Structure 1
Amino acid sequence: MKKKNNLLLLFLTILLLGCSSDNGGSSPNGGVDKSANLLATGASANDILANNNFDDLLIEIAYVAGFRPTTETVSNFENFLRERTFKQDINFIYQELPSPNEETLTLNEIADLETDNRTAYNDGRTLAIYIYFADAPSDEDDESQGAVTLGAVYRNTSMIIYEETIRNLLGNSTLISLADVETATLNHEFGHLFGLVNLGTDPVNDHEETELNENDQEVGNNHCNVQGCLMRSELQFGGSMMKMMERSASKGAPAVPELDAECILDLQNNGGR
């Protein structure tokens, strides 16, 4: 019960951070207006999926030296975006960064790193996304319970991938590759930027997973309840994700889960494919 409440608290913290305006607004000196990239998680779901306001995506991948995602991962990720959005152009830029030299990272520290290092913001008909690949784990991890976080979204166009955690978790697995785990994590977290599940993209049919809050009441947790879906809560946390992917690979099926029919229907209803 305590673990579930802690996970809910972490997710609420992510949402609240997305609403923060500490770093928002345009520069008083006439610089780049960053405010449209500093909104709550899911606020730009339709803008990402459809072409009403933005035709193109520019994805800035910032990574600590030595923790760049594989070329295969980025190719898989681009295919996922093209499959589910109507964006005409999807481009990637890379920025190698020094380590922040932290044992763990809080969401506020991650947001501060973005403020210091992000270079790509919405410009004209181009919507910009920022993804940071870290060399430190989340401060919310509990390795003794096998509860390690692989990724998180914390604003409408921002996410973190805990790359060191992914690599440590993978170990010497013979069934799944580093690209598999990176791809599954990226696609899952970007599903939340798409507004899934019930996070800016309204469900056509109810398929949100529930859990008990501190008052023993069932509440939605913004993950899908359809077995095998990319948006299952297992995909956010280490041990359960590895088991899910290894089970699939052992049966000769693709290791990386895909969106189920309900999630796809939701995206199509909000301007996606």
Structure 2
Amino acid sequence: MLKRFFALLVLSGLLMPSACTDDSDISGGDTDRVDRSANLLSAGASGSDILTNEDFDRIQIEVAYVNGFRPTDLALDNLSQYLQERTFKEDISYLFLPLPSPDENDLTLQEIATLETENRTTYNDGRTLSVYIYFADAPSVNDDESEGLVTLGAVYRNTSMVIHESTIRSLASKSVLITVAEVESTALIHEFGHLFGLVDLGTPEVNPHEDPEASNHCDVEGCLMRAELEFGTGVLSVLEKRAAKGLSELPGLDAECIRDLQAIGGR
């Protein structure tokens, strides 16, 4: 069932990050004089900008969250550590933006993009690259809990992502071994992998390793960019197996994904 679902996603373009690379169907809505154009590109288009210091040597991450759904400090600390390991950015900061709930039972990517247009306050400025992360209090419209198919996060522009915080908390509550912070951390660093352009989402593959049944996801067992770390309950299985083996570190990139990042200037 899971393989059939991934094939459906590739065809329909509902959830996979590759389906969000065309920004033409997500309106930017420039209504003021702020230059947003550099932050309205397709997903994966700014991989080199994030990884290197050539044009930007600082990252400011705007953490927009629905009241009551702020991510854990530990997850953000883990994200900072991951970025310092894989990019050449040393100046990484967070700007917190609490928001009221949109009062929706579920959310489409278009609705999420519209919320960003209405609420985002930071954009690329000088040597500072801005990233926007929205922590939602509603699941993806495409979730099917009866089949165990849920979405933890998605990227939809070159510096924009959504994390379905309510889904993460619900998922983490099903395990006595895994914490909310661990699921948050895994979702965040997985989605940043897509912002880097992995897998073949703007960053070319040095050696082919894209999963033929899950577009823009890695086919190497154990890699951070495996599809089960973004969709479905597979993330719990992955994290629980690591915990059972006494592995405290979060899943990492495999050699092929690291090779791809290094080819465009990453560590």
TM interval, shorter chain, is over 0.9
Q: For residue 234 of structure 1, what is the aligned residue in structure 2?
A: 228
Are the equivalent residues in 1 in contact too, given 2:175–2:236 (CA < 8 A)? no
Deviation, structure 1 residue 88:
3.2
Match of 1:42 among 41, 44, 53: 44
Distance 2:249 2:128 in 1: 32
Q: Do the aligned partners of 1:196 and 1:223 also contact (CA within 8 Å) in 2?
A: yes
Alpha-carbon deviation of 1:5? Answer: 3.4
Q: Does 1:14 align with 2:20?
A: yes
Q: 2:66 aligns with which of 64, 67, 80?
A: 64
| Identity among equivalent pairs (%) | 57
Q: Where do 4+ consecutive residues of structure 1 move more than 4 Å?
A: none
For the 8 Å contact 2:152–2:231, the answer to whether it is kept is yes
Distance in 2 (CA, whole Å) between partners of 1:13 and 1:249 is: 33
1:128 aligns with 2:130: yes
Question: Is the contact made by 1:134 and 1:164 (CA closer than 8 Å) also made in structure 2?
Answer: yes
Distance change >3 Å, CA 148–CA 116, structure 1 → 2: same
In the TM superposition, what is the alpha-carbon distance from 1:24 to its structure 2 partner?
5.8
- 2:28 alignment partner in structure 1: 23
AA paired with 1:119? T
RMSD over aligned CA atoms reads 1.5
TM-score calculated relative to the size of structure 2: 0.93
Partner residue of 1:246 out of 216, 235, 240:
240
Out of 208, 211, 216, the residue aligned to residue 209 of structure 1 is 211
Tell me the SS of whatever aligns to 1:208: coil
Secondary structure of 1:47's counterpart equals helix
Q: CA deviation at 1:6?
A: 3.1
- 2:186 pairs, out of 184, 187, 190, with 184
Q: Structure 1-normalised TM-score?
A: 0.91
Deviation at 1:21, TM superposition (A): 6.6
1:264 equivalent in structure 2? 258
Output the amino acid matched with 1:51.
N
CA distance in 2, matches of 1:182, 1:77: 10
SS of match in other structure, 2:233: helix
**Quick check: 1:53 aligned with 2:52?**
no
In the TM superposition, residue 153 of structure 1 has moved relative to its aligned partner by 0.3
Question: Given that residues 19 and 39 in structure 1 are in contact (C-alpha distance below 8 angstroms), is that contact kept between their aligned partners in structure 2?
Answer: no
Give the superposition deviation at 1:129: 0.2
Tell me which residue corresponds to 1:216. Answer: none
Greater Cα offset, 4-13 or 230-239: 4-13
Measure, in 1, the Cα distance between the counterparts of 2:266 and 2:249: 24
Cα separation, 1, equivalents of 2:117 and 2:28: 7
- Could you tell me how far apart the structure 2 residues matched to 1:43 and 1:24 are? 20
Contact 2:60 2:92 in 1 (8 A): yes
Q: CA deviation at 1:99?
A: 0.4
Instruction: Note the residue ranges of structure 2 that are not aligned, 5 or more in a row.
Output: none
Give the residue type in structure 2 aligned to 1:232.
R
Tell me the distance in 1 between the aligned counterparts of 2:204 and 2:183: 28
Displacement after TM superposition at 1:255 (Å): 5.7
